Structures are given as C-alpha cells and as structure tokens.
Structure 1
C-alpha cells in the first residue's frame, strides 16, 4: 500500500471506554490509511484495560491519555483535541473503523476550487456503511449537509454520522469544542455550534467509515439518560430554531427532531428485547409533541427499519428501506 508522508496536517483522535479489542481494530484502520496522519491520540475514559501496554508495543509513537474518572464522550473528544497539534482533527469512535482512503479522500476536497473569502471551513465529512458483526452490509448513508451549515440545517436538518468528521482545529477552538454538559446529541450540538458561528461543511459522497450494528455498550447513555440528554439539547437550541423558523414552526421543528431521535432509540430497545425501555422512549415522544400522526409514523418507520436490518435478507432489506 502506498502511503504519503508529504503532508502531515491531520491529528487523529480515538476515544474509547471498556472496549480494548475494538479500539485496537480502530487503531489498525488508522495505521492502514493511504495518508499517514501527523499523530494518533487515544483517549481512554477511565476504563481498566491492557490498551496502554498494547500501544506501547504495537504503536509506540501514539499518544495515550487516560481519564482517572469517567467523564463521557464529549470530554474524551476535548481531551484528544487539547493534545492535538495538527491543522485538522479527525475523530474515530472505538467501535468503528475507517476504510484505507478515508483521510486521503477528505483532504483532496481541500484541493478543489477555493471557497468565497467570506466563508469559513469548519468540517469535511463523508458517508458511513453499517455492517453486522459478521461483516454483512446493512445500509449506507451519505452526507446531506454542504456549504453554509446554518442554511443547510434549516433546509435538510443536521446530517451527522459517527467517525466521519475532519474538523479544522481553528473552528473547534473557536466554538469551544464539544459541550461536556450534554450527555448525548453531541454531534448535532457541534454542528449547531459551527452553524451559528458561520462555518461551512464540505462532503465526500462516499461511505469511507464502517460502523457495526450490534447491542453494543456505548460511551453515551442508557435510555433515561439518553432521553434527558436530548431534552437538554432541545432546551439549548430551541431558541435558535425559533429564531430561524418563527415561534410555532420552531417548536414544531424541535418536536420533530426529538421524535426522530427518540424513535430510533425506542426501535433499538424493542428489537433488543427491552420492552420496558421501548415503552419509556415511546411514551416520552407523545408527552413532548402533540403531533400524534407524525409521532406514530416516525416510530413505526424506525421500528420497521431496525427490524428489517436484522431479519430480512440483504436484497429485501434494501427494498424495504426504499418503501419507508
């Protein structure tokens, strides 16, 4: 494999919690990049594993940082950023991996036509391919946001995918990094922070990240904390939505956002057999929004998609998603 060492502008930050074997896979996917990054920074959020010993042996040039207390994903990402020295910062969650050309393809976006002098580049991102633990492709999602983030979010919503972000360090510094007070929705939150600060997004229309769909323990939250986190996010950005859309439409926008996010959580709980958590999540949707028809629709679609990804053969899955 050909690797380029001519341009080391990128710091890679991998965040991990109690999943050393998955994190090792993530690290290997960075080592396999066709573009060699400036540095690899691994932040372990207070878990007790053999990861540091493995890194000393296998990736001696990597920077390992460990939180003494569990502080959550946003804090882990900020810690990584505080140790980064590159012009750009690429994030990778420990249970995902990059395809070999991920960094190279994103950096090539910078070689395109120069943007208007009034624009500020905040992030370049790409699509994601979801696979089963056995390696079967379940779905692919491509980025939707491009150009001025505020305008794009108003038009199509916030389109974020895990482990796809290549931020400019300048933009992250400007907005103060990730909001550590939020237990969830931190990717949408950083999108909104960049949007209100006037930044733009660019995209690579290809799935260069693989994320695995399973009953995995995440660095985010359980059901009740996840619900509380999304409610906190809505409280934070609800006023901005109302500025953008007006009082009534702004509230409707926030309510529908909440319904979509919590419906996905409810669907995951249901197919995992957590009927009580499914009920808690579903109930919270109807308690938050009076748009009963929309709530039922988004909940049914989320459950249908989640069940299809597990039960149906691959060709039928694609057709089922197109119907939904």
Structure 2
C-alpha cells in the first residue's frame, strides 16, 4: 500500500550559481509541469550577481508556492541542496540543476507511480537525454535498474540525479548531503537513500540536459575529487560493501578505483589513471572495461580522445 497521500505537495529544489541566462528556462520548466501541487525552492549559492530579479520576473502562475533563498557565501552544491531541503514543505522532493529541463509530464508521472506502488518504494527516477546547443541528442541515459540498488551503487551504477523524486520521509532517514564533498556528493547521498527504500524507474527521457558549452555543469576537478571526495566515499563504500562479504568488497573497491581513474583520464592525468585502472584490475580482474581503459590510459591523451569519440558515436547510433 502506498504511503503517499492523494495529490501530495511536491517540492522542487532548484540550485543555481552564476548562470543567470539559464535560470528563466529552468524556472519555466517547473512552472509548466502538468502536475498542479508544486512548490519551487530556488537556492542561489551566492552568485556574483543575485538572480532575485530573474526569479521575481519569471512566470510562476502554475506553482503553489515560490521560495527564494540566497547564501551569504558560496558553499557548494551540497550546501545549496541542503538549504533547499530545509525549506521544503512537500511530501515528495525533486531536484533540478539550472542547466537542465524537464518534460511537462515528469512530476505528474512520478506522483502517479508513487501512488500505485507499495511503501517499500521511496525513490523514482527517469531516463535522461543530453543535447547540444542545436538540440540534437548527444547521449541517452536509460533508467534500467529497480528495487534495492545498494549493491548497484556500490559497483558504479549511476542515475541522472535531476530525474529523481524522493519521499520526504526517506530524505529525512538518509540525512543531508555531505558538505565536505566537492564532488561525488550525489553518489554518496544516493547510496544512503538506497539503504532505506527501493527504487522504481520510468525509462523515458523526461529530463533534458544541455551539454557542450562553456556553461556546462561544474567541471570535474580531479585534484579535489582525489584528495577530498575519494577518501570519504571510499570509507563509506567499504563499510557498507563489507556487509556483503569480502569478495563483493573487492569488487566494489575496484569500481571505485575505476571511477577515480576515469576522472584522472578525462583531466589529462594519464599516469595516475593507469595506476588506478591497474589497481582496479588487481582487485577485480573480471571486468573487461577495466582492461579497455587501462589500455587507453597507456596510449595517453590522444587515445582517450579517440575512445571518447568512438563511444559517443556508438551511443548516438544506439539512441537513434
């Protein structure tokens, strides 16, 4: 039996920082949702110029409530989302970045699915379509895994974060985002969510994410990820993975090393990437992807660029 009320209030937390040109579209995509009971909380993480004027000028007639909060200093994505959670009144909470958009039916379909499921389901996510400046599809990320996703997250499964809607009671159980993490904060938080509920999917691209511009999402700062995020996430993952036995713990550790290796590779740190890919292979020599990327790292930056181009070409062919 569902624990979600009939016509529950949904709070959308929209975080923004120094991207005024994208904010009107993001607000519009929430206001144009076909679901009626939506509260929008806009959190500005201390942009160089306050976007309050943009928020006040935006058409928000379709919303039940609009809240604008501006940080007195920049605290990062986790701090902005935590502020949004603290101001949320909704029974369901969804997250949106300022450079993403939603199909009009997204929230309505997630609420409908919540009302038709049992109390074990606490989070619903969708597929996502990434587009370039011309609106052409770059990649299509499907939403495939359902149920208990703890082991999947421990082994590198990734979901489009701005596609997710989570019951408020599950958010309270999982706790706030870790503000000590400059990256991987989504991954860290979703793992904690998975300890308290099961996930369902809508495998349709109800989220549209724009890529390939200078205004793309926060860049992958490898140094911060390696020195700050990796130790915290590795400790969390190891603790939880150990409950599934020593063999699974090795598998989980290998996937995390692969993840930090991939980050090193895309940031041109090919020597460090090789080290992490080899460590992943030592931990878990049963995944062919680890061998592939170890080889790519050995070819240097040129090999990585060629592999990335080939990967996108394959993804485009599959999605078309």
In the TM superposition, what are the counterparts of 1:76-155 in structure 2 within 5 Å?
76-112=80-116, 114-115=117-118, 119-150=119-150, 153=153
- Superimposed CA distance per residue, residues 214-269 of structure 1 (whole angstroms, 9 cap, x where no aligned partner): 2545447522112332343112211211221x224412322223313541x34544
SS of structure 1 residue aligned to 2:143: coil
Question: What residue number does 2:39 align with?
Answer: 39
- The CA distance in 1 between the partners of 2:315 and 2:220, in whole Å, is 28
CA contact (8 A) 2:42 2:68 kept: yes
Give the alignment's Cα RMSD to 1 decimal.
Answer: 3.0
Question: What residue number does 1:166 align with?
Answer: 165
CA contact (8 A) 1:267 1:306 kept: no
- The CA distance in 2 between the partners of 1:304 and 1:258, in whole Å, is 22
Count residues in correspondence.
298
CA contact (8 A) 1:43 1:80 kept: yes
SS of structure 1 residue aligned to 2:200: strand
Assess, with a 3 A threshold, how the Cα gap between structure 1 residues 261 and 163 changes in structure 2: closer, same or farther: farther
CA contact (8 A) 1:149 1:191 kept: no
Question: What residue number does 2:273 align with?
Answer: 282
**1:67 offset after TM fit, Å?**
1.1
In the TM superposition, what are the counterparts of 1:1-324 in structure 2 within 5 Å?
7=7, 9-59=9-59, 62-112=66-116, 114-115=117-118, 119-150=119-150, 153=153, 157-196=156-195, 198-214=196-212, 215-216=214-215, 218-219=217-218, 222-228=221-227, 229-244=229-244, 246-260=245-259, 262-263=261-262, 265-266=263-264, 268-269=266-267, 277-279=268-270, 282-283=273-274, 285-286=276-277, 288-291=279-282, 294-298=289-293, 300=296, 306-308=308-310, 318-319=316-317
For structure 2, the 5+ residue unaligned runs are 1-5, 297-302
Question: What residue number does 2:299 align with?
Answer: none
- The CA distance in 2 between the partners of 1:236 and 1:107, in whole Å, is 31
- The CA distance in 2 between the partners of 1:166 and 1:120, in whole Å, is 14
SS of structure 2 residue aligned to 1:20: coil
TM-score, L = length of structure 1: 0.80
**1:194 offset after TM fit, Å?**
1.9
